Each structure stands twice: as C-alpha cells, then as structure tokens.
C-alpha cells in the first residue's frame, strides 16, 4: 500500500454534530446555537435528510455525538437522534458509542435513554469543580451537579470521561491541582485537560482585548500542564495524547481514528467529514444548515480534494500528538513517504532542539516537545 492506503474503503467512524446549548460560554468558538430550542424538531428532520443522502447504512466501529450539547435535547428527541444515528451507522461488535454531555442535563431518564440506545461512553463537560472558576467560565453547574451526574452515569455507563480546563484567569497551581484531585476521586476512566485559549470571535477574546481578562503567564501554564501529567499518570492514567489521559484500555477510540489519520463520516451543522481523499465541512450556521436541507440542496460549505502529500503531512502531525509517536515503517507503508521526505529540515531542527526524539524507528515528542506541541505541529504542516 502506498499513498492511497485506506482511500477506497468506507470510513469506520462517524460523527453527528448537535449544536444546541442553553447559552454560549465566553471561551467557546464551536458551532453552537443558544436559546433556540424551537429549532430542535427542524434540526432532527434536517439530520434525517442529510443521512438519507448516504444511500445505504455504513457499519462503524466508533460513533460520536458531539456539540454543542447532545444531552440538551429532550429525552424523546435524544432517543430519536440516537435511533437515526445507529440506523445509518449500525454499530459493529464491540463498537464505541460516545455522547458529549453537560452535568446539568444528566437525569435518570436521560441516562436510561443513553443506555438503551447502546451508548457505552459519555464525555462530561466538567471544566472545573471550583465555583468561582465555573462562574468565570460561564458554566451552569457546580461541584454538586458533577458529583450527582457521575453517580447517575457510572452504574450504567462506566466508561466516563471528564473534560477539564486549566489556566483560567487568576487561577493558581494549587487550585488546578485541587481540580485534578477532585476529578480523580469521582472515578472517571478518561480525563482530557485543555489550557484555556482566547479564540478570535469569542467574548473572552474581546474581554482580554479590553483588559477585562488577563491570560495566565506562560510559565504558570507550563507548570499546570506538567502537574496534570504527573498527577494523572501517578494516579494510574496513561498519557496517550497531548491533552488526553486514560485508564488502561479506555482511550477514546473515536478520537484515535482522527489522530491515526483514518477517514470518517459526519453530519450536522459545521460537521467535517473525510471520505476518500475529499474533506468537506457543512455550513456552521444552524439555520442555514436547516434551510439548505429543507430546500433539498447540499449542506456543504467547504470542499477540498487532498493530495497524497497533504494527507501525509496531516497524518504525520496528528500522529505526533500521540505519545507513542509515529512508527516510521508503518507511516511509509501508509503514505509511500517518510517524514524526512515531507519536512526533513524542520524535523532535524526539532531533533536538535530536543523537541522531538527518534529511536526504535519511532518519531516522538519529548516532554519539552509536549509543551510546544502546537508550535511543532504548525511548523510541520
């Protein structure tokens, strides 16, 4: 196999985007629509129309409902969406079916809907356990709601992931360590940690511009990231991707498909799919997406045909985000190229700077490289 490896086989993963939220948090730049629950019925009809365009069901190994907040839907709407998703993307034996959720949405009724639909992994948007930090981040839950959600979920869907944010304005290292300890105590199988970013177009970006919010200094951000690595690995979690930690065997199999350069289906506003050598992204506006589906036109806003060279570079960059790094013989078999043929000068420079390490036929980020992973990846792209 060379540069077209995997391009003729249908993807084995699928993503469905659910844009609805109670409100848009100040740091969020995702495809989200807040306060428009009147659109949920039209959205479900639009999703059904888009999935109809597949022509036939496609069995998958991973199916992920993200957002937005899928669990913001009512129990009956959530049941309808899961039924649609699994009809068009029937699950293979031992498949992973993940749903993103917010603590405030978790009720016994919704847990029952998730469980009966075959959901076996929930990713919970915890972000923090500290009231003042949650208020600053404009979250609508508190520590007690997280604890209650975990208590409801774990007996039925034991593969539970927490998302945590560090480096909120004014946050100290001990406060972040308290968040990590609080998360570990509740028994999740997976924890994702993200440094707060100020994305252009968000209210946080504007507030920082007007000196209303101040970014945590780089040295403290570095200390917080390293503290997460040390605390979570010390608690038995495997650090398997730049921002992700899992109990043995509980890695996010869906996200692994992205990082391994695999193809995937996708549906919903703002959703991106990668089938063959074509990448497409739907309209980000939920109302525009719904209108297009009602009119029987394509939801696609961006269409790109990848060259084998572009695909290989992406596979290299995503592969380096994995702690296991890139296995050179496998990469060459998949792409028909070596990393050095793609960007040898940059790789040699990062090896010299000890941001990358090359041994046993593997190219990997070093501990120092993990701290500058985004910079390394941008340079290699």
Secondary structure, 3-state, 312-340: HHHHHHHHHHECCCEEHHHHHHHHCCCHH
Q: What is the pLDDT of residue 378?
A: 87
- The CA distances from residue 283 to 74, 128, 197, 268, 367, in Å, are 24, 31, 24, 9, 38
CA atoms of 286 and 40, how far apart (whole Å): 10
pLDDT tens for 35-53 read 898 999 999 999 999 999 9
Give 222-291 as a DSSP string: HHHHHHHHHHHHHTT-EEEETTEEESTT-S-HHHHHHHTT--BEEESTT-EEEETTEEEEE-S-HHHHHH
Mean pLDDT of 18-27: 78
User: With 70 as the cut, is the pLDDT of residue 324 above it?
Assistant: yes
Residue 16 is predicted with a pLDDT of 98
Q: Are 63 and 14 in contact (CB under 8 A)?
A: yes
Return phi, psi of residue 92, to 5°.
-70, 165
More confident call, 295 vs 381: 295
The residues that bridge with 32 in the sheet, in sequence order, are none
With 70 as the cut, is the pLDDT of residue 198 above it?
Answer: no
- 3-12, 120-129, 296-305: the lowest-pLDDT one: 3-12
The pLDDT assigned to 3 comes to 39
Whole-model pTM?
0.93
| pLDDT above 60 for 289 | yes
- Identify the CATH number of the domain defined by range 13-259: 3.80.30.20
Specify the pLDDT at position 34. 77
- The stretch 170-197 carries a mean pLDDT of 95
Give the CA distances from residue 190 to residues 149, 245, 246, 251, in Å, rounded to whole numbers and listed in that order: 15, 6, 4, 7
CATH 3.80.30.20, the chain: domain bounds: 13-259
Categorize the per-residue pLDDT at 33 as very low, low, confident or very high, splitting at 50, 70 and 90: confident
Residue 1 confidence (pLDDT): 32
283: confidence class by pLDDT, cuts 50, 70, 90: very high
| Model confidence at 237: pLDDT above 90 | yes
pLDDT value of residue 137:
87
Predicted confidence band of residue 211 (pLDDT cuts 50, 70, 90): confident
pLDDT tens by residue, 243-269? 999 999 999 999 999 999 899 999 999
- Reported confidence tier of residue 27, pLDDT bands at 50, 70, 90: low
What are the pLDDT digits (tens) for 129-146?
Answer: 999 999 988 888 899 999
The pLDDT of 265-282, averaged and rounded, is 95
In the predicted structure, residue 5 carries a pLDDT above the cut 60 = no
pLDDT category at 9 given cuts 50, 70, 90 is confident
147-170 mean pLDDT = 96
Asked whether the predicted pLDDT for residue 184 surpasses 90, the reply is: yes
CATH number of 310-380: 1.10.10.920
Question: Within the chain, which residue ranges are assigned CATH 1.10.10.920?
Answer: 310-380
Gyration radius of the chain over CA positions: 21
pLDDT tens per residue, range 226-235 = 999 999 999 9
Residue % of the chain over a pLDDT of 90: 81
Nearest-angstrom CA–CA distance, 290 and 136: 33
């Amino acid at each position: 196999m060379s540069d077209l490896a995997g391009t003729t086989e249908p993807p084995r993963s699928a993503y469905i985007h659910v844009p609805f939220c109670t409100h848009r948090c100040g740091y969020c730049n995702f495809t989200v629509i807040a306060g428009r629950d009147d659109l949920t019925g039209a959205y479900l009809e639009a999703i059904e129309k888009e999935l109809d365009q597949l022509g036939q069901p496609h069995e998958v190994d991973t199916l992920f409902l993200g957002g937005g907040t899928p669990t913001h839907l009512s129990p009956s709407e959530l049941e309808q969406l899961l039924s649609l998703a699994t009809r068009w993307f029937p699950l293979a034996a031992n498949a992973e079916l993940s749903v993103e959720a917010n603590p405030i949405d978790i009720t016994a009724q919704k847990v029952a809907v998730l469980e009966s639909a075959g959901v076996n992994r929930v990713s919970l948007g915890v972000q923090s356990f500290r009231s003042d930090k949650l208020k600053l981040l404009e979250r609508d839950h508190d520590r007690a709601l997280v604890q209650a959600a975990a208590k409801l979920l774990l007996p039925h869907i034991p593969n539970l992931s927490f998302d945590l944010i560090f480096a909120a304005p004014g946050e100290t290292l001990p406060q972040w360590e308290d968040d990590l300890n609080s998360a570990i105590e509740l028994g999740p199988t997976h924890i994702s940690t993200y440094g707060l970013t100020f994305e252009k177009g968000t209210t946080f970006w504007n507030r920082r511009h007007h000196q209303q919010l101040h970014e945590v200094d780089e040295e403290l951000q570095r200390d917080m990231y390293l503290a997460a690595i040390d605390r979570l690995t010390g608690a038995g979690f495997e650090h398997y991707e730049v921002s992700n930690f899992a109990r043995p065997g509980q890695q996010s199999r869906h996200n692994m498909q992205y990082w391994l350069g695999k193809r995937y289906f996708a549906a919903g506003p703002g959703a991106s799919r990668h089938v063959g050598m074509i990448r497409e992204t739907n309209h980000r506006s939920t109302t525009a997406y719904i209108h297009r589906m009602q009119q029987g036109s394509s939801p696609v806003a961006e269409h790109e045909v990848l060259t084998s060279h572009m695909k290989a570079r992406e596979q290299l960059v995503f592969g380096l985000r994995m702690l296991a790094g890139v296995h050179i013989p496998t990469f060459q078999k998949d792409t028909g190229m070596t990393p050095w043929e793609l960007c040898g000068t940059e790789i040699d420079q990062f090896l010299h700077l000890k941001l990358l390490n090359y041994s046993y036929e593997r190219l990997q980020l070093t501990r120092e490289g993990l701290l500058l992973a985004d910079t390394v990846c941008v340079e290699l792209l």
